[in-house]
Chain A
Amino acid sequence: NAGVTQTPKFQVLKTGQSMTLQCAQDMNHEYMSWYRQDPGMGLRLIHYSVGAGITDQGEVPNGYNVSRSTTEDFPLRLLSAAPSQTSVYFCASSYLSGQRQGYGYTFGSGTRLTVV
């Protein structure tokens, strides 16, 4: 059972570089999302998707792009990295009916990104 797989686990970028954080789930979850975790600020929603071909913005979408071409994958793209994007990024997925059924979100183990 792979669950939610995030790659890479660690990454150092220079300001202005671009990169893609990968997220894949094998549970056939309709809903996928990206959060960033910063000290004292909890987890803040960046982008989310309720199914293939459907994405929407969360609380802090600026500087990030997403796409959802398949149910399994939900990559997060940093277009031009900035030091303010230094954070730990988590991908999470769930069934759309999962919250109502008490399943909750399944989180990946995170990507620690440092922008210098």
Chain B
Amino acid sequence: QQQVKQSPQSLIVQKGGISIINCAYENTAFDYFPWYQQFPGKGPALLIAIRPDVSEKKEGRFTISFNKSAKQFSLHIMDSQPGDSATYFCAAIEMDCSYKLIFGSGTRLLVRP
């Protein structure tokens, strides 16, 4: 049973549009929620992360929105660019209990020029 559920599986957005990827979790002990970006042939790389005591975090064109009561969080990519085309993974971890990072199933984003 997947502990972190991610949707959609794939996403096509026009250049300049907003890309939205959603994740949901069940384990209320998770206390850190990072997003990773992966380009073909490469390993994932940390993109942005949020703690559950914050409802939103923004870094440049990337924003995480967090809804603790609904146990959901999402990644918004504003002004999407062709260079953003990659696979995005949400993840969750219990920092004080376990160091295991649990990933969602991934979203393949294609930004058309």
Residues of A whose CB lies within 8 Å of any CB of B are: 4, 31, 33, 35, 40-45, 48, 50, 58-59, 90, 92, 94, 96, 99-100, 102-105, 107-110
- Of B12-20, B61-69, B75-83, B100-108, the segment with at least 4 beta carbons within 8 Å of chain A is B100-108
Cα–Cα distance between A59 and B42 once the two chains are bound (Å): 23
Cα–Cα distance between A90 and B38 once the two chains are bound (Å): 12
List, in ascending order, chain B residues with CB within 8 A of A58's CB. Answer: 100
List, in ascending order, chain B residues with CB within 8 A of A41's CB. Answer: 105
Does A99 contact B43, Cβ atoms closer than 8 Å? no
Closest residue to A95 on the B side, CB-wise?
B99
Specify which of B42, B44, B99, B102 lies most central, judged by the most chain A CB atoms within 10 Å of its CB: B99
List, in ascending order, chain A residues with CB within 8 A of B43's CB. Answer: 4, 90, 92, 107-110
**Total residue contacts A-B, CB cutoff 8 A:** 64
Does A90 contact B95, Cβ atoms closer than 8 Å? no
List, in ascending order, chain A residues with CB within 8 A of B29's CB. Answer: none
Cα–Cα distance between A48 and B44 once the two chains are bound (Å): 17
Partner of B32 from the list A35, A40, A45, A99 (CB cut-off 8 Å) is: A99
- Does B73 touch A at the CB level, under 8 Å? no
List, in ascending order, chain B residues with CB within 8 A of A107's CB. Answer: 43-45
Interface residues of B in 1-49 (CB under 8 A from A): 2, 6, 9, 32, 34, 36, 41-46, 49
With both chains docked as a complex, state the minimum distance between the C-beta of B47 and any C-beta of chain A, in angstroms.
9
Does B103 contact A43, Cβ atoms closer than 8 Å? yes
Cα–Cα distance between A105 and B103 once the two chains are bound (Å): 12
- Does B86 touch A at the CB level, under 8 Å? no
Given A41-B105, A100-B95, A109-B42 contact (CB < 8 Å) = yes
With both chains docked as a complex, state the minimum distance between the C-beta of A97 and any C-beta of chain B, in angstroms.
9
Cα–Cα distance between A45 and B43 once the two chains are bound (Å): 14
Partner of B44 from the list A50, A90, A96, A103 (CB cut-off 8 Å) is: A90
